[in-house]
Amino acid sequence: MISENLNAIFKEIENGNNLGEKINLIGASKMNDAETINRAIECGLKIVAENRVQEFLQKVDFVKNARWHFIGHLQTNKVKYLVGKVDVIHSVDSIKLAEEISKVATKKGIIQKVLCEVNIGGELSKSGISPENAEEVVKEIALLKGVKCVGLMAMLPHSQDQELLKKLCLQMRAIYDKLKGDGFEFEYLSVGMSNDYKIAIQNGSNTIRIGSAIFGARNYL
C-alpha cells in the first residue's frame, strides 16, 4: 500500500508546482512505527517528520537514510531535544521560540534551519504569526545567531471552499516571494497536507506534509 501511495504522489508532483519548482515531499509519520517509516524510505521517501517531540525521540535512532523535519507545535522547554537533530523546524510561531532555538544552537555551535509559521486563515484554534506580521518576524529572526529562516509554513483551514483555499495559498506565496525578493535565502513554502496538497501545489507551495495519503488512515485507538 505504501509503495502504491507513494508512486501515485510522485507521479502527481513530478512536474513540480505551478511555477515549475521542485516539490519537497515530507512524510508526516505520526503514529507510525519505525519499521513502517523505513518501508516508505525504501520506496523513495527522503524526508520524514514528526509533530511530537516524544515520538521523534522514540523513533529517531531506528529510522535510517532519511532527513528529519519537525512540523508540530513546539514548546520552548522541548527545543533542546530537536536542535541539531532535525534539518528543519517548521513551526516557529513566535520570537520567544526563535530566541530559545538560537540559544541552544549557539551553545552547540550550529545553525538550525527554521520556518516561520503563519496563521494564514486567522484561526483562533491554530498557532502562528499573523500574515501582517510575518515579514517583521522573519526579519527579527534573521538577527539571531544560530538560526536561519529558510521559508514559511502554514496550515490551511478545513474547508470545502476551493476559492478560499486558493486565495490563502496565493497570499502565502506573495509573502514568500516578497521576502525572497528582499534577499532571504528561502527554500521551503510548506503548505498542503493529505486533504489539500493538490490545491496547494497548484497555487505556489513547494513543500507538502503528507501523512495518511502515504501511510493510510491513522488508528487513534
Is pLDDT at 123 greater than 90 in this prediction? no
pTM for this prediction: 0.94
| Percentage with pLDDT > 90 across the chain | 93
pLDDT tops 60 at residue 166:
yes
Residue-wise pLDDT tens digits, 167-193: 999 999 999 999 999 999 999 999 999
Mean pLDDT of 190-211: 97
Based on the number of CB atoms within 10 Å of its own CB, is 217 exposed (0-12), middle (13-18) or buried (19 or more)? exposed
Q: What does the pLDDT read at residue 217? A: 81
pLDDT computed for residue 103 by the predictor? 98
Q: Which CATH architecture has domain 2-215?
A: Alpha-Beta Barrel (3.20)
Give the mean model confidence (pLDDT) for residues 76-105. Answer: 97
Q: Residue 219 has what pLDDT?
A: 64
Please choose, from the candidates 85, 89, 57, 59, the residue with its C-alpha nearest in 3D space to the C-alpha of residue 73: 89
Cα separations (Å) of 186 from 28, 173, 180, 190?
Answer: 22, 12, 6, 11
Residue corresponding to grid cell 501511495:
5
Give residue 221's pLDDT: 44
Give me the mean pLDDT over the 145-150 stretch: 98
Q: What is the mean pLDDT of residues 90-119?
A: 97
Q: Taking all residues of the chain, what is their mean pLDDT, rounded to a whole number? A: 95
Provide the strand spans (E) within the chain.
24-28, 47-50, 67-70, 88-92, 112-117, 147-154, 188-191, 207-210
What pLDDT shows up at residue 220? 53
